Amino acid sequence: MTGTFSSVNNALSALRYHQVVMDVSSGNIANVSTDGYARRRVIGEAMGAPVQPAMWSRYEGAGDGVKVGGLQRMVDQFLDVRARREHGNQSFLDVRQSVLERVEAGIGEPGENGVAAALDEFRSGWHVLANNPDSEAARSQVLARAATLADALSVQRRNVEVEEGDQRIVLLSGVDEVNTLAGDLAETNRSIAVAQMNGTEAGVLLDKRDALALRISELTGASATLNAKGGLDVTVGGVALVSGSDAGVLAVSSGINADGTADGGPVGFTVTSPGGTVTDVTGGVGGEAGGVAELLTTTLPAHRAGIEAVAQRLADDVNAAHGAGFDQDGNPGQPVFTFDPTDPGGPLVLNLDDPRLVAASATGGGPNRNGDNATAVADALSGAAGAYQRLVTGFGSEVASTRRLAGNQQALTGQVDAAREQLSGVSLDEEMVTMLQAQRAYEAAARVMTTIDSVLDTLINRTGLVR
């Protein structure tokens, strides 16, 4: 037999429950455009027979209403793992694309102002000299164009060096950001563990946890796994960075000095655990940091070496051809280009300062107006021109391929994000329906209460009265 007032309690539980449903719905609507918010759903549970307290005790009721069984956060662990991986790959390719495109813009080919144009000008300068070997103007012009060409090459080289310098700073500050995020995540993990122990609703913490893990993955390509206490453990390249409420410290161990200069070696990373153990990250770092590390270790030095090789080829070919000739006084030609001995592999330096020293003549032994060696020098330039074309084409192909890869990855990342959004995103239509339902249910429960009240009124105030 149920008690007299149990029906009122039944209606009361319905009022409370639907109040919560409306609260949660309004929370969802409020966060419709919040980044990283996963929609919540109220799990309702019908209250019924309690466990049998004793062998012969019986539950006589017909249901005791409803209660909130819990709040469900609509997420899928596997989708999250997938999203972290794709976002890591995406930022790896994005950073490569943007850096390579910047370097490419500095090449200025094909056009009228690049190295190729300077090389053509230099060549025609020698031809003009061959036509007028005794012209002071033609001689000075050859020297001026040689200086322009050396400058054009060293500008390209400097572009790459500046980009390398920038990226080293970017990497250092990126690593700082990772460490801040790792600390935050460890703290969040701890809060989640505490909340779970208390039985407190931890949805907001979980949102924050996922957002932090996603950002760490974007920066380092790290993978994260769910631990027993509801937190996320993060490993970078196979080395634990965040483990429960402990966060290690990621650091650049080689390739970059603390002041942002290069130390000449490849870029390497270590993780220092809270206990002080230093572990090399051998499994490879991905994400933005990995992209920058690859640029600094492989791509940019290779391009710089290519420019240096073109400069070397130019200097060798021109100097050899020039050395076979004789200057205006009949002395053998001196090298046109040299390298600064204090800066090995550095920019070309123009060695001749006097126009008379330009060796236009193929016959020595005294002053003459022979210009055949100038023609020979002009012909000797084709090797360097070809090498430069190959360099530019190779770099262009690399940029184009990176752009294609980043585009493909964009499609993939977009798909995974859409799948996540499909599950976790707030739909206003859906929330409106939920709210409407809750409103009607609330109204109905209130009506139930009125009805019971009127029944009880009959029972209490009218029973036994005879009119």
Query: Which residues here bind another protein, judged by CB under 8 A?
Result: 32-33, 101, 104-105, 107, 109-110, 116-117, 119-121, 123-124, 127-128, 130-134, 361, 363, 366-372, 375, 378, 385, 388-390, 392-397, 399-400, 403, 414-415, 417-419, 421-423, 425-430, 432-433, 436
Q: How far is the CB of 24 from another protein (least distance, A)?
A: 16
Q: How far is the CB of 111 from another protein (least distance, A)?
A: 9
User: Phi and psi of 31, rounded to 5°?
Assistant: -100, 25
Q: How far is the CB of 48 from another protein (least distance, A)?
A: 32
Q: How far is the CB of 291 from another protein (least distance, A)?
A: 17
- Compare residues 335 and 425 and give the one whose CB is closer to another protein: 425
What is residue 38's three-state secondary structure? Answer: coil
User: How far is it, in rounded angstroms, from Cα 437 to Cα 444?
Assistant: 10
Q: CB-based burial of residue 121 (10 Å sphere; 0-12 exposed, 13-18 middle, 19+ buried)?
A: middle
DSSP annotation string for 100-134: HHHHHHHH--SSSSSHHHHHHHHHHHHHHHHH-TT
Q: How far is the CB of 120 from another protein (least distance, A)?
A: 4
User: How far is it, in rounded angstroms, from Cα 66 to Cα 438?
Assistant: 13
Q: How far is the CB of 397 from another protein (least distance, A)?
A: 4
What is residue 271's three-state secondary structure? Answer: strand
- Compare residues 257 and 397 and give the one whose CB is closer to another protein: 397
- Whose CA is closest to 87, among 282, 220, 258, 265? 220
- Compare residues 220 and 402 and give the one whose CB is closer to another protein: 402
- Compare residues 147 and 419 and give the one whose CB is closer to another protein: 419
Q: How many Cβ atoms from other residues are within 10 Å of residue 268's Cβ?
A: 17
- Residue 233 carries which DSSP code? E
- Asked if residue 146 lies in contact with residue 314, where contact means CB atoms within 8 angstroms, the answer is no
Q: At what angle do helices 300-323 and 382-424 cross, to 10 degrees?
A: 170
- Compare residues 129 and 171 and give the one whose CB is closer to another protein: 129
- Compare residues 16 and 403 and give the one whose CB is closer to another protein: 403
Q: How far is the CB of 107 from another protein (least distance, A)?
A: 6
Tokens in use for 265?
A: 């070696």
User: How far is it, in rounded angstroms, from Cα 161 to Cα 308?
Assistant: 12
- Whose CA is closest to 116, among 92, 139, 149? 149
- Compare residues 263 and 369 and give the one whose CB is closer to another protein: 369
Q: How many Cβ atoms from other residues are within 10 Å of residue 275's Cβ?
A: 7
Q: How far is the CB of 383 from another protein (least distance, A)?
A: 12
- Compare residues 117 and 155 and give the one whose CB is closer to another protein: 117
